[in-house]
Structure 1
């Protein structure tokens, strides 16, 4: 099905970039923009910028950029149509889709089909819980025994699967759902003989949601005593569900995590449900799996503070210690709250109530380093060898903290706790850090000396895209440089190179600067009747840029100017062409903003948009482009001279070379740069 263009426009206008991005990461206001740690790559210092005025985002770390639709596509890994439907649902915009062509139906995204079929299963299990006799007498009865109320059941979409082989399968087939997709979604299993049956039977159902609130998998608990079956079973890994990247309850908890600036991390589904119902809504669970780096980074989108809530027995304490060094490495502030023996967060909050539970957290929450030190010291007792091992292990955790100030604080407090000289701990920490650095250096050297299979060494980017000699002469007319009194044939124009981030030529940076000036200030008048766009296009003449996106943008500026129009940033930011939109965002998003402190102290800072500065920038940019073009011609002519055996041709090439050498020298004087020999 196709979404009408007018509906697309309504969705784009309704979608506020701050609201959309804020559903996935915790934004902080800085000046007129917002910043956050990027959700697309691992970073500890925020480089992700959201501009509410232009309704765009840009990460200066990984380069990701776009508008609200592109953000949803990137963060959810979905297609354009699915992103529009996601935003339409968020902003309550009804979509009356047009009939798709057969080709469009064939191309329908399988990933979206999985979401649809998982949502069907969620609804089926919900209705089974509340509308069938078995669901009410067994499933709903179990939830009531655990104390869960209707609002909690509804908030987490809890359900029940009847104890039958194919209840879900039969209903899905009756509604026309594809059996193969049911299997891909992990809802049914197929035996070798061709028999297909439901994966979840006779169990209460815990739907697992992603950050956006879409159901991606299920957990299921058996209620009858049957030692031949596991107590819990979960959906298998699918295209939309990767258990190492998911936290149970993150969708329901994210807003409260952001507001209270702390995330409580538990082990199981019922821990989350009981705490949520008690009003402690900033809680998630790792669902019985070992904590992963992806889960840690998911939490870090919303807060830097994590408190681990685990069982009070010895196994629970050991579980609290496992994997938490990874959390420290990610720069998060980790604390641990323990409970009396025999209690877990679920049982304890039901036993004492919400207020007493919160009071327990306030009195019994320790930072991870202190908690780990206490725990290991109790196990070590008075044995000096074991105490030495404790010191080594605790120091090993401290050095994983990336912030040197925090490390120093922990060295001081831990030295008092261990009754060991602080400098001894610091020396041991420094030794471990040096050891880690040396290992990294060895790994790096090993990677450098090991050739990658199937790859060849990088070769220099081709010079390509040279303008004709007539173009160069036309460029230089305004510089009062005499052209030689002879006709020089125009050089053959090689194929325009594909410039990549790692192989950019110096000229591509000047092309970028030219487009940046045009896109930000093209309509600004440098003098009455002469806009910056008019000046720069006149000076550039017929030059073609070598980096394809910049050349296309320059062409669009030329075509618009011929029509009497000057393009603005808005034209490119709304481009359907993703590459042009990305380039425009990069060129219109400044990485830094001028602090209000400068104005407060009456320090006048020249701004680029001032006419005099803008004119100088445009003039310098045009000169640098011309100089680099002349240098390219000189390189080309040197090659021709070295390759020819014909004296007449060699003399001709030398004359051309001397001409461009003069051009290069004259421009260097105008720029005030050092002239190379």
Structure 2
């Protein structure tokens, strides 16, 4: 665990405008900075950054928070990953307070060493590609023949490993890297005599990055046609590289996947690179291996929509059905696209513009049922037995879909496509699900289309929630502000906004209806008991995304009047602090009035019960009268007409 002191140091050093400025083009807007949302496509900027308060708010997506939550949202980091990223950026040493065994310490040390040597190797291969004659003549020439630009080569950090058997190993050892570490990384192979050779010699190199951008391993392609070695070679499994848990291009593509809410899945490294160069950046590769549940979950962190792109003449399409089934099990929406025969994503991208590729995908991507049926029907032809097996195969896939409504829609589609009655298909589905021990599905169904009724959304404004939101804003913006109030006996007294709100709620036994707001209020009370005023600054640094978002929204204004413009127009704008006493008094009174309304309605409802008679009925009426009188006094205080 990262120590609290280290976290505080990170928050003190990190500047939200500097970090976000690396990802978003920001322009000055009064005291704030403004830019286009990095989370949704928009033409008018609604993304606000407050350097003074060290917070940000995206009014298009509703997201907001501090510098750490931005990295978590934008880069999909975990909380510790975001802190470590910031620590590295600002040269802050990470301190951890967890007691570790010697074995655990060694494991952590090995993992970190593997990251370091992998980064070292990447830089070596890049240097060999761009700065040596061999690298330029062989590696760089190959990449240029593939049509890769200098910018693309730099973006994916492509490199070259020289033909000399131990060029990298010898260089790494001279730089102080041990044989044990080089062997553990999979970069070098040593014999019994301790002589090492380079695993990737004479290959162009494709670094494989983690979700957060660290180099985990490599893929290497040999260029000699007469070579007996495998055309492509990957790093072996190591402490940091697990082929089944990573997707090539995920680091370079994650922002585009988030923004477009779709992931394109291809087979090879060059497929990813060529599509990126053509402007299609929401694409990753399974690196030629069968898709795994871990890889699918990686995609699911970014989007529920997957489109698999296959070569036009791919021989392994049927084998890929297992991958589609795994995607369905993870509740993702899957489509499939076949390129024209003789084309793969790489070659198709080289020959077409970004717009042409996007149009082709949009027009030709089909859902998995149509795709599977088309492929399998070619084998079945008019053979009824084979066709029955095909239908069972499709129903088997549908049974993997957890969502019952989706299953029903897929059954309807299969019924039309295969010209088979729905009730027959539902019966087959029920049998499969029962064998799996899943929920019972009706065996007989009337063959009627599922009616999807689109309800008209009604916007219900809850006045209590609005006032509760204002109370939270007062806490966040002015919680520790000292104010002067007048007591019932006309005596003046000083207090803080937080203390006054807590006092009013405890004296009147009030509680916020909104669970999140009430949880924030409980945090504020706890802080007060510990002699700590927990205002917006406290919640901005809290590791609770929902509370941090509330704090950022409360502390940053979407619209603000430029001081220069106001001065030019001769307009004097009073600071909010000048009327904070009135704001807090009126807000609490309004909340009390709504609270009394609820109680009056509650007791009035009880009176409708015919069994409430005699003294009990009189008691309820008296309660209503007292509450009504209290509410009338509040209305007078608020200058309302009763």
TM-score, with length taken from structure 1 = 0.58
Residue of structure 1 in register with 2:240 after alignment: 240
Deviation at 1:553, TM superposition (A): 9.0
Find the counterpart in structure 1 of residue 448 from structure 2: none
Contact 1:537–1:558 (8 Å) recurs in 2:
no
**Equivalent in the alignment of 1:545:** none
Distance 1:203 1:425, change over 3 A: same
What is the alpha-carbon distance in structure 2 between the residues aligned to residue 171 and residue 273 of structure 1? 29
1:158 CA drift (Å): 0.9
Alignment match of 2:592 (pick from 607, 612, 625): 612
Where does residue 420 of structure 1 map in the other structure?
A: 420
Q: Is the 8 A contact 2:87 2:94 kept in 1?
A: no
Q: Quick check: 1:139 aligned with 2:150?
A: no
1:196 corresponding residue in structure 2: 196
Q: Contact (CA 8 Å) 2:245, 2:295: kept in 1 or not? A: yes
Q: Which residue of 2 aligns with 1:568?
A: 535
Which has the bigger relative contact order, CA under 8 A and spacing at least 6?
2
Residues 425 and 589 (structure 1), Cα distance of their counterparts in 2 relative to 1, 3 Å cut = farther
TM-aligned CA distance change 1:147 to 1:155, over 3 Å: same
C-alpha spacing 1:72/1:346, structure 2 compared with 1 (3 Å): closer
> Where does residue 398 of structure 2 map in the other structure?
398
Instruction: Give the match for residue 9 of structure 1.
Output: 12
Distance 2:211 2:439 in 1: 37
State the TM-score, normalized to the length of structure 2. 0.61
Match of 1:121 in 2: 121
CA contact (8 A) 1:17 1:68 kept: no
Q: After superposition, what is the alpha-carbon deviation per residue over 1:608-635, rounded to whole angstroms, capped at 9, x for unaligned?
A: 996539999xxxxxxxxxxxxxxxxxxx
CA contact (8 A) 1:267 1:285 kept: yes
Alpha-carbon offset, residue 213 of structure 1: 2.7
Q: What residue in structure 2 maps to residue 488 of structure 1?
A: none
Equivalent residue runs for 1:168-183 within 5 Å: 168-183=168-183
CA contact (8 A) 1:274 1:349 kept: yes
Q: CA deviation at 1:280?
A: 2.5
Q: Cα–Cα, structure 1 residues 367 and 100, in superposed 2: closer, same or farther, change >3 Å?
A: closer
Residues 188 and 196 in structure 1, CA contact (< 8 A), matched pair in contact too: yes
Alignment of 1:219 onto 2:219 = yes
User: Distance between the aligned counterparts of 2:352 and 2:8, measured in 1?
Assistant: 56
Equivalences for 1:433-512 in 2 at 5 Å? Answer: 433-438=433-438
| Gapped regions of structure 1 (runs ≥ 5) | 35-49, 57-65, 89-94, 441-515, 541-549, 591-606, 617-677
Q: 1:128-153: per-residue Cα shift (whole Å, max 9, x none)?
A: 01111111111112222222222221
Tell me the matched-pair count.
473
Q: Deviations over 1:213-234 (max 9, x none)?
A: 3322110011124554211111
Does the CA contact (< 8 Å) of 2:290 and 2:323 recur in 1?
Answer: yes
Matches within 5 A, 1:286-365: 286-313=286-313, 315-350=315-350, 357-358=357-358, 360-365=360-365
Match of 1:531 in 2: 500
Deviations 1:471-505 (A, max 9, x none): xxxxxxxxxxxxxxxxxxxxxxxxxxxxxxxxxxx
CA contact (8 A) 1:248 1:287 kept: yes
Partner of 1:375: 375
SS in 1 for 2:407: helix
Task: Quote the Cα distance in structure 1 between the aligned partners of 2:94 and 2:426.
Answer: 69
Q: Note the alpha carbon deviations across 1:140-194, whole angstroms, 9 max, x for none.
A: 1222222222222122111100012322223323333444433333322233332
Deviation at 1:364, TM superposition (A): 3.2
Secondary structure of the 2:531 match is helix
Tell me, yes or no, if structure 1 residue 389 matches structure 2 residue 389.
yes
* CA contact 1:161–1:205 (8 Å) conserved in 2: yes
Give the match's secondary structure for 1:371.
helix
SS in 2 for 1:322: helix
1:387-409, CA deviations, whole angstroms, 9 ceiling, x for partnerless residues? Answer: 11111111122233334443333
* Cα separation, partners in 2 of 1:613 and 1:221, compared to 1, 3 Å: farther
Query: Does structure 2 conserve the Cα–Cα contact (< 8 Å) formed by 1:17 and 1:52?
Result: no
Q: What is residue 285 of structure 1 aligned with on the other side?
A: 285
Displacement of 1:100 after TM fit? Answer: 10
CA 1:519–1:223: 2 relative to 1, 3 Å: same
| Contact preservation (8 Å) 1:395, 1:428 | yes
Q: What whole-Å deviation, never above 9, does each CA across 1:584-620 have from its counterpart, x for those lacking one?
A: 8799899xxxxxxxxxxxxxxxx9996539999xxxx
Q: More deviation in 267-276 or 566-575?
A: 566-575
Q: Deviations over 1:507-562 (max 9, x none)?
A: xxxxxxxxx9x99898899995673545789999xxxxxxxxx999977533417x
- What do you get for the CA RMSD once the two structures are aligned? 5.0
Q: Note the C-alpha offset of 1:567.
A: 3.4
Find the aligned partners of 2:367 and 2:94 in 1 and give their Cα distance. Answer: 58
Task: Give how far 1:371 is off.
Answer: 0.7
Shift of 1:79: 6.6
* Structure 1 contact 129–139 (Cα < 8 Å) conserved: yes
Partner of residue 86 from structure 2, selected from 84, 87, 92 = 84
Distance 2:257 2:594 in 1: 45
